[in-house]
Every structure is written in C-alpha cells, then in structure tokens.
A = this chain, B = another copy of it.
Amino acid sequence: MVAPLRIGLAGVGTVGAAVMRLIESQRALLKARTGRGIEVVAVCARKARKKRDVDISRVRFLADPLALATDRGIDVFVELMGGEGDPARAAVAAALAAGRPVVTANKALIARHGTALAATAETNGVALNFEAAVGGAIPIVKTLREGMAGSSYARVYGILNGTCNYILTRMQEEGLSFADCLKDAQRLGYAEANPAFDVDGHDTAQKLAILASIAFGTRVNPDAVYVEGISSIAPQDLDAAAQLGYRIKLLGVAVRTAKGIEQRVHPTMVPRESAIAQVMGVTNAVTIDAEGIERITLVGPGAGGAATAAAVVADIGDIARGLRVAPFGRPTAKLAASRKAPMQRHEGGYYIRLAAVDRPGTFAAIARHLAAQGISLESIVQHRAGERAHGGEDPRSPAAPAPVILITYATTEDAVRRALQAIQRQGVVAGRPQLIRIERD
C-alpha cells in the first residue's frame, strides 16, 4: 500500500478551488489511474476566511506560501497564485530546492524564470510540471515533451489567447469593430478590465516562449519574441481576408529558419481550410509541424477553471505515477540561448492594405515601388462602390478613393517595409498602410 500523495496548494481562487474539487470528486479514478491516492492536505491563500466554491476548513491553512512550499507534511507543491515574481517565484524555487516536485499553471513565472527553476528541479531530481500554463486543457506540453520524442520540430504555431480569438471571431462574424468587440468581451468576462496584456499579444508571447523552448531546445525567453497585437485589425481586413480565402488569427509562431529560431506573435492570415482557421471563440489550438509528420493540431479550451484544473491534476497524476521528464524536454545545460530573430529578415507572404490617393498614376507608383524591392503580387483587390477588381494589374480609370489590397508572394519583411516607405514618401497613399503576415500551412 503506497501512502497517498500529499498536495500543498498555494492559491485557492477559481483554478485552485476547481483543482480541489476535481481531486475530491475523482478520488477513486485517480487512484486507479496513478496507483496512488492523492489528497490536498494544506492550502495557502491570502485570506483564510472567504466565500469560496470549496471547503478548505478540513485542510491545514498556512498564510505563507514559502512555509507551505517547504512544509514537511506535503509531497507536492502546487502553485496557483500567479504572477511572475515573488511570492510565486520564491515559493516554487524553495519547494524544488527542498526536493518537492512542483506543479504550476503560472505561465508568466515559467516564461520568465523557467530555465532557472528547471535547473533547480534537475539538481534536486524532482519534477516541474506546467501543462496548465499553455493552452489550458490541451496536452501540448506533454505532446511536445514526450509524445514526439524522436521528432525534429520544424514549426509550432497556435492560437494561445482566447480573448483575442473571441474578439477576432466576433469581428469576422458580425462585422463589428475591435473596440466594440473588446467591450463585449469585457462585459462577458472574456477580457480583463485592462486588456492590454491579452490584446497586445504579451500573453500569447509568454506561452509561445514556453512552447518554443520545449520544441527547439532553447532557454525560455519571452523577450526573444516579436510581438504585435490585434488592435489595428479592422473589419475590412477580415472581409478582405475572407474574400481571398483566409482568416485572421492572432498566432504565436515559433519556426526554425536558416537564420535561427524565429518567435513571433502577430495577427496572421491563415488559409481558410486549415485546421487553425476553424478555431472560433475562446478556443485555443496548436499545430506542430515535425520532420516526416506533416501536421498535428490540438484544439481545446484554453482557459477556465475546469479546463485549467484538468491540466493541473494530470500533472499531479504524472508525479503520483513517478514520471519525471526534464521540464523543457532536455537537460537545462543542453538548452541553447534564445535570441530575438530580427523581423526584417522574416520571410513570407504579406497582406497589404493601402488607402490609395485617387489620381492617375497612383497604382503604377505602388506597383513600381513593390517591383523595385523584388516583390511579386499574388492578388490585387480594389473595392469601389459595388465593384471589385480582382487580380488586375493597373485599373486605368480610378473612381472614388478606396482601399487597395495586395497579397504578395513570399518576400522579406525588409523589402515590404522599404517598398511601403517609398510609397508613403511619394504621397500616393493616405494614412498608415496595414500589414498582416501570411502563414502558410
């Protein structure tokens, strides 16, 4: 008879309460599956007494996370307080240093201090599991870390932020503006009062940095991620994308290129038929391209108490079974430095939306500057009232001013930026050009 695995839980908010309920309600199942009983024996929270979805009166209460982390009465420390700094960081580090395995859902902590914490885990021969930090209930960390151990990853990309995908879905389906959809998302609780962390892409960047580290064996570093949010996306971009056979998603993309590992977060045009394009609302999805395996896509709930708790409990289950895998899939000493790949050197197709000034020669000037940078066009769409030119080269009779949409063949970001600067300098376009990168299947 193996003694039950004793859990110390720091943080009893929505996720913490869901974890406690799941462990309680699945007691028999967990024991059957992991061979060992699992019990929450102590918790730590800011307030001992507070209205909660779960009864914590039957477990020990500690006010100090650090004391819980090093408590001799627990076997596993589960960190659900959040925040990249202390007390989460200090508590996790202390637990690992004391030889206690750690499970955390804290993406900021892992993105910022993951490599150092992994090294501590390694030194002390204990697990550091963080499935819930990326993609909620989607087992993406396990899949990258264990499920494809013999595969060289070429690219990992996905929808990692439900708020952004919810907003883009509403914009696409209802033709609403970004601002209106954001307001709705806030009202429905899908977006924070301060939405910048989500809509500016930083949440996605932290999650991507974690996935990139596992996939490519680099030290996790969110500062190596190029980040662009979705606030500049207009309904007309979504319309144009649809007409051209694409959808616009905020993607996190980590890809091996000849110049190193590129990590980037930005609004992205994806082919409408791709699995990732089908993902609507708050759902998350990750696609893995590996050598010899064209594509594996995992789709599921990326947030929410129950989904996050499921991932946390699965991580606890692995510890109950005695599984221990290097946190980032290989020893920290073997992780390479993670450098920010310069976006000027990014290669791919581009969507460009210009407000062309209505006078003869405008289009010729645009075409000339693109050609000067060696940029070839796959499609040209020019809308006028009730009319649409598609694939034409140079409409000789410009009517009312209207946006011009261009889809380029693969080129470099540098070339596109230079061409657009030249076009803007010539005064043939009004306002700032819109630029959206295209990610092919």
A300 near B292 with CB under 8 A, answer no
Quote the shortest CB–CB distance from A309 to chain B (angstroms): 7
Interface residue? A295 (CB, 8 A) = yes
Minimum CB–CB distance from A56 to chain B (whole Å) comes to 19
- A32 adjacent to chain B (CB < 8 Å): yes
Interface residues of A in 282-339 (CB under 8 A from B): 290-301, 306-307, 309-310, 313-314, 316-318, 321, 323, 325-326, 329-331, 334
Complex Cα gap A138–B273 (Å):
20
Size category of the A interface is 35 or more
The complex places the Cα of A302 from the Cα of B291 at a distance, in Å, of 15
Contact in complex: B152, A26 (CB < 8 Å): yes
Q: Is the interface of A mostly helix, strand, loop or mixed?
A: mixed
Is residue A392 contacting chain B, with contact meaning CB distance below 8 A?
no
Chain B residues, CB < 8 A from A298? 296-299
Is A99 interfacial (CB-CB < 8 Å)?
no
A116 on the B face (CB < 8 A): no
A296 to B32, Cβ gap below 8 A? Answer: no
Q: Is A128 an interface residue (CB 8 A)?
A: no
Cβ of A293 and Cβ of B299 under 8 Å apart?
A: no
User: A222 CA to B4 CA in the complex, in Å?
Assistant: 35
In the complex, the chain B residue whose C-beta lies closest to that of A38 is B150
Expressed in whole angstroms, the minimum distance between the Cβ of A162 and any Cβ of chain B is 13
Q: A146 to chain B: which residues have CB within 8 Å?
A: 142, 314, 317-318, 321, 323
- Whether A367 is near chain B, meaning CB under 8 Å from some CB there, is no
Closest to A325 in B: B321
CB distance B151 to A147 under 8 Å?
Answer: no
Across the interface, do A334 and B32 meet the contact criterion of CB distance under 8 Å?
yes
* CA of A150 to CA of B151, assembled, Å: 28
A261 vs B29: C-alpha distance in the bound complex, in angstroms? 17
**A143 CB-CB contact with B under 8 Å:** yes
- Given A35-B331, A330-B33, the answer on whether A306 and B325 have CB atoms closer than 8 Å is no
Known: A149-B316, A150-B309, A294-B301. 9 other contacts (CB 8 A): A29-B150, A137-B296, A138-B296, A146-B323, A150-B313, A275-B275, A275-B279, A299-B299, A323-B325
Contact sample, A vs B, 8 pairs, CB 8 Å cutoff: A26-B150, A30-B150, A139-B296, A150-B309, A150-B314, A151-B314, A293-B301, A295-B301
